[in-house]
Amino acid sequence: MKRKMVALIASICTVMALSISASACVYAYYQPEEPEALRK
């Protein structure tokens, strides 16, 4: 019984981690344009 509970908690944590990291990856590709003052 204890082993099943640990496996259930581990799988829930894995799903949560994957969903959070997948939603954060969208922001990793966003790169704002560099201002003219910083290009020098």
Measured CA to CA, the distance from residue 29 to residue 32 in angstroms comes to 10
CA distances from 30 to 5, 25, 27, 33, 34 (A): 39, 9, 5, 10, 12
* Per-residue pLDDT at 5: 96
Write out pLDDT tens, residues 1-40.
Answer: 999 999 999 999 999 988 877 666 666 667 778 888 887 6
Q: Which long-range contacts (CB under 8 A, 24 or more apart) does 30-36 make?
A: none
Q: The pTM is what?
A: 0.54
Identity of the amino acid at 3: R
User: How close are the terminal C-alpha atoms of the chain, in Å?
Assistant: 65
* Per-residue pLDDT at 7: 96
